[in-house]
Chains A and B, each alone.
Chain A
Amino acid sequence: MEMFFYGFMQRAFQASFLIAVIAPILGLFLILRRQSLMADTLSHISLAGIALGLLLNVNPTLMTLVVVVIAAVSIDYIRMLYKSYSEISIAILMSAGMAIALVLMSLNEGGTNTSIQQYLFGSIVTINLAQVQLLFFLFLLVVGLFLVFRKPMYVLTFDEDTAYTAGLPVKLMSIVFNVITGVTIAVIMPIVGALLVSAIIILPAAIAMRLSKSFNLVILIGIIVGSVGMFTGLTASYQFGTPPGATITLVFIVIFIITTIVKKLVNQSKYKKNQRT
């Protein structure tokens, strides 16, 4: 229990809760729009933004926000070009992001390598008050938008052409969604690390999708799964001194495996019961 007495651990738990609520909301839409790799792409691109910021001596957080927003808008454009293979746009941008980040880092020789390391692997325990405040603002934004635009987003996600004929501004919604995803990733990335951002966004929603057949319930279950995973992972990382982002991801993967097995067993026992009657 002693970990709760440290200010940094308190902030870490606050941040985890906020992330646990935001992640499955974005994650579910990303998965259903077949953009689950977009989180990965944007995190690589935001890494490039950080590298650029460090190179130019501009505030890296600000720089990465600008870069990610530009990328999020262009993703939708490229997605239109390869309509039925939206994965391609993602792959192109992902490699571009990583390549640019690496080149910029090598240009900026000396001094800054340690901070790039920090962005790659994240450091939830060095989180400061400003970051928690930024996350809280994002939390209000995402939850608020979700509550207001739940129905339009459901139809958009189900089928874009149907959404268009129903009178929804499909392009605008797509772009706004991408931009919010980008901003979220730019904010979360320094906390959990560029390499694992997407796991933390996608996994809770992926687990919840297997557990529920109703759309609204999926989000709720996703938030529960997210909170359990984040808290357990964070505690374990503190106890064993392992990196937080990776520990949390491992916990999610364990939950994923357990739910898969439990679901199989439940289905089998249902089947047997039906056979007997």
Chain B
Amino acid sequence: MHYIEVKDLSFYYDEEPVLENICFTVDPGEFVMLTGENGAAKSTLLRNILGLLTPSKGTATISPVNERNEKLAIGYIPQQVASFNAGFPSTVLELVRSGRYQRNKWFKKLDAEDKEHVERALKSVGMWEMRNKKIGELSGGQKQRISLARIFATDPDLFVLDEPTTGMDLDSRREFYELLKHNSKVHGKGILMVTHDHEDIKQYADRHIQLVRKEDSPWRCFSMDSCKEPSKLHS
């Protein structure tokens, strides 16, 4: 089963193609990293996969269920998530708890298990002591960390992360990658992460997809260096 399946996807902003012939999959228990220069349409690709944009050609699908046949939970960190409105009146704890809502808690009170997830998530990014601070008063790296805590609290089946470690120091980045690897290997989570520090992350990820500029195209259009290979490898 594939958590993410992208088949011959192309995407055009207005008339200009920015992505062409993309195909790959992300399976349960797999940690895939996606790289490419600025403007290589990495964020655009993630948004196509999540349904926030519609592919111009081909398809991008996310499995509706997880391996246990329950509804698949997705944890998405957008690229600009940490630039939230500084005046947003919310404490760190409120924000991280909101990660639990999508686990069937939209209309129910959080129970002891939810609270344990929240506490563990905050501790895993070293932000438990800061839990009663207003989110607008955190530093850039700290904001990024509570966004991570928020999706660890969700404990999703599929992580879709757009440069989640921007602004974080080296040690906390390594800890975070370690935690992701643990999640994929031990808990069978699927992970697709856009990143720029690929030297650093090589030892953690299972697979590396790079978006490269198409040379025969008049546009600034990107594609995969080896379209057929990765999906063949796994089917």
* Chain A interface residues (CB < 8 Å from chain B): 28, 32, 34, 148, 151-152, 154-155, 157-159, 161-162, 164-167, 208-209, 212-218
Chain A residue contacts of B84, Cβ below 8 A? 158-159
Contact between A165 and B88, CB atoms less than 8 A apart: no
- 19 additional contacts (CB under 8 A) given A161-B52, A215-B90: A32-B85, A151-B98, A151-B101, A155-B98, A158-B88, A158-B90, A158-B98, A159-B78, A159-B84, A164-B52, A165-B76, A166-B74, A209-B89, A213-B134, A214-B89, A215-B89, A215-B94, A216-B94, A217-B89
Q: Is the CB of B101 within 8 A of A214?
A: no
Give B50-67 interface residues, CB cut-off 8 Å to A: 50-52
What is the bound-complex CA distance between A165 and B154, given in angstroms? 12
Q: Which residue of B lies closest to A163 (CB)?
A: B102
Q: Do B102 and A166 touch across chains, with their CB atoms under 8 A apart?
A: yes
* A37 to B: closest C-beta gap in Å: 16
CB contact under 8 A between A213 and B91, given known A151-B98, A154-B98: yes
B interface vs A, CB < 8 Å?
47, 50-52, 74-76, 78, 81, 84-85, 87-91, 94-95, 98, 101-102, 105-107, 132-134, 137, 160
List the A residue with the shortest CB-CB distance to B74.
A165
Contact between chains at A162 and B81 (CB < 8 Å): yes
Q: Using Cβ atoms and an 8 Å threshold, which residues of chain A touch B90?
A: 154, 158, 213-215
- Top 5 nearest A-B pairs (CB, nearest first) are A213-B134, A166-B102, A165-B76, A218-B89, A215-B90
Known contacts A155-B101, A158-B98; A213 and B89 CB within 8 A of each other: yes
Interface of B is mostly: loop
Q: A158-B95, A161-B52 are in contact. Are A166 and B87 (CB under 8 A)?
A: no
CB-defined contacts of B102 to chain A, threshold 8 Å: 155, 166-167
Complex CA gap A32/B107 in Å reads 22
Compute how far the CA of A34 lies from the CA of B88 in the bound complex, rounded to whole angstroms: 11
Measured between beta carbons, the chain B residues less than 8 angstroms from A214 are 89-91, 94
Nearest B residue to A164, CB-CB: B52
Residues of B close to A148: CB separation below 8 A: 107
A contact residues around B95 at 8 Å (CB)? 158
Closest to B62 in A: A165
Instruction: Tell me the complex Cα distance, A28–B133, Å.
Output: 20
- Decide if B78 touches A212 in the complex (CB within 8 Å): no
Q: Which chain A residues border B91 with CB–CB below 8 Å?
A: 213-215
With CB as the reference atom, state the residue of chain A lying closest to B151: A162
